[in-house]
Amino acid sequence: MAAKTSDDCDKGFADSYMLLKHEDARFFDLLHVLTSRNMSRRRFVESHAEGEVDESFGHRWLIFISILAQKLLQLMAKPLAFFGICVELLINLIALNGGIFYIIFNFIRGNKQLEWCNEAPFYTLGPLTTDIAPGYDHITSAIGAANIGVLGIALLCHVTSKEHLGLPNRDYVKTGVISYKIAAHVADLEKGHPHAQAWDDALSKARFEFRWMDHFALSLDPMTAMSFNDETLPSEGAKTEYQEKASTQVLIALDRHQNRDTYVVAFRGTEPFNADDWCTDIDISWYGIPGVGRMHGGFMKALGLQKNVGWPKEIERDERLPPLAYYVIRDILRKRLSENENAKFIVTGHSLGGALAILFGTVLFLHEETLLLERLEGIYTFGQPRVGDEAYAMYMKQKLKEHSVRYCRFVYCNDIVPRLPYDDKEMMFKHFGICLFFDWRYQLKVLEEEPNKNYFSLWCVIPMTMNAILELIRSFTIAYQNGPHYKEGWLLFAFRVIGVLIPGLPAHGPQDYLNSTLLGPIEKHLKAD
């Protein structure tokens, strides 16, 4: 394929590449992809592959689907995010009330709250304890709210700092709401509410053990707490230079033991209602790194690939911008491991997070990070998609063996994601390493490649449908067989019903991977290995 020049960035760090720029594609351009083999004329395809890219109809069809899907996702990004908020709100509402029917029951029961509140009013507005602090009414009223909460009030109505002074904006309302959440929590503590005390204890323990990410996650306002935190400590979101958004999320936790400590670096997978995450997954752009091989462009961008320099070992960070994912994680590990000679670390992730986990190890190998590679115990991925081609697979096998790093891919049954992108002549993506394959009964098989490696096969339709039906039946029996901890809710059950029509979709959920590690004989395998 002919090379195209671009003013966007210098890609000299790659010996070959194929980049899809969905923002430059127009409708008729997409149609021409399907009808013309000459891709060099397409403004949204930038390539330097020395004729190695297969321009067959199959390859052009995949390009068409990738770009069209990305354009639709970006178009629907805000509605999708809003829908996600609504879904999460509904799920939380149902969970807090104990079920769908209890929402109606609790609404009706609310009319009788007056009888249960020790003669305290059901609803109050602005219980100010003093009038001497205009501009601080959210504080003075929160003190009163905590007091009446202890006495039995059922509903608190927040007050902003602009009360009696003017109309509040969004930030004033947020501060008022947080103040009243604190008041409600104080009241719950005073009344001996077990959940409130457990929440307090969990955050106190996280603070004492310097588990900052847990500290943030448990707080009333995680974003504000993170913004006040020292810049050298973990941040919730890391920037991707290509998207120019803080979309990559990672948790760094510390597991303390008597003899040694283990840091766990866990990359988050695709957020269901995040358009940027989905675009990362379906972007079939790739880069060829000299001496390494071709790697998935979307995953590399999410980890912190830079437009003009690729993966330099050291960078100058712009303090005005969120950090790049790979570099901030690496710097945190450098600091913590150098301070604790007995500490090790592992890297893990589910779905997109699994791809980022193995790519994180790849860049460590590329940079020859001696300290980190000596302390890296293993990389464990769950439902991980393919990341690179055969040359990349060979490179990783050699480096993993050279540095004695264990790498295990957990694959559950008919999960579709580990079978993508395709391992065929169009895509050329390859898996490598040990595959720990679990069937629908959570029985373990150690394989080199999961069965039905490319998912779409007429011969496998009936077996996959039968598996989906068995998983649906298992939803009713698993709690009786293995205990109430494994009980599946109505949402997961509904998802499994969809799985009968689209086998492999619900199999990608975290629940089955969690069950595989708890119910499968994984511990025996790891000890034997």
Rounded to whole angstroms, the Cα distance separating 391 from 145 reads: 64
CA 313 from chain centre, in angstroms, equals: 25
Q: What is the bridge-based pairing of β-strands 376-382 and 406-412?
A: parallel
Written in H, E and C, the secondary structure of 112-133 is HHHHHCCCCCCEEECCCCCCCC
Query: Using CA of residue 90, residue 94, residue 99, residue 104, what is the dihedral sign?
Result: negative
**351 an active-site residue?**
yes
**164 an active-site residue?**
no
- Residue 143 CB burial class (10 angstroms; 0-12, 13-18, ≥19): middle
Q: How far is CA 161 from CA 138, 141, 310, in A?
A: 5, 10, 48
Query: Using CA of residue 477, residue 480, residue 481, residue 482, what is the dihedral sign?
Result: positive
Three-class DSSP category at 518: helix
Give, to the nearest 10 degrees, the angle between helix 325-339 and helix 352-367: 60
Three-class DSSP category at 144: helix
Given a contact cutoff of 8 angstroms between Cβ atoms, the answer to whether 218 and 236 are in contact is: no
CA nearest to 330, candidates 300, 360, 354, 305: 360
The encoded tokens of residue 376 equal 């890296």
Query: Using CA of residue 489, residue 490, residue 491, residue 494, what is the dihedral sign?
Result: positive
Full DSSP string of 459-476: GGHHHHHHHHHHHHHHHH
Given a contact cutoff of 8 angstroms between Cβ atoms, the answer to whether 439 and 521 are in contact is: no
Rounded to whole angstroms, the Cα distance separating 510 from 507 reads: 8
Which residue among the candidates 350, 415, 431, 516 is catalytic per the annotation? 415
Which residue among the candidates 235, 296, 508, 516 is catalytic per the annotation? 508
The encoded tokens of residue 474 equal 């298992």
Given a contact cutoff of 8 angstroms between Cβ atoms, the answer to whether 478 and 511 are in contact is: no
Cα–Cα–Cα angle for 351, 354, 357, rounded to 5 degrees = 155
CA nearest to 329, candidates 292, 291, 293, 367: 367
**415 an active-site residue?**
yes
- Residue 513 CB burial class (10 angstroms; 0-12, 13-18, ≥19): buried
Which residue among the candidates 351, 431, 512, 516 is catalytic per the annotation? 351
Rounded to whole angstroms, the Cα distance separating 287 from 295 reads: 6
Q: Which residues are catalytic?
A: 351, 415, 508
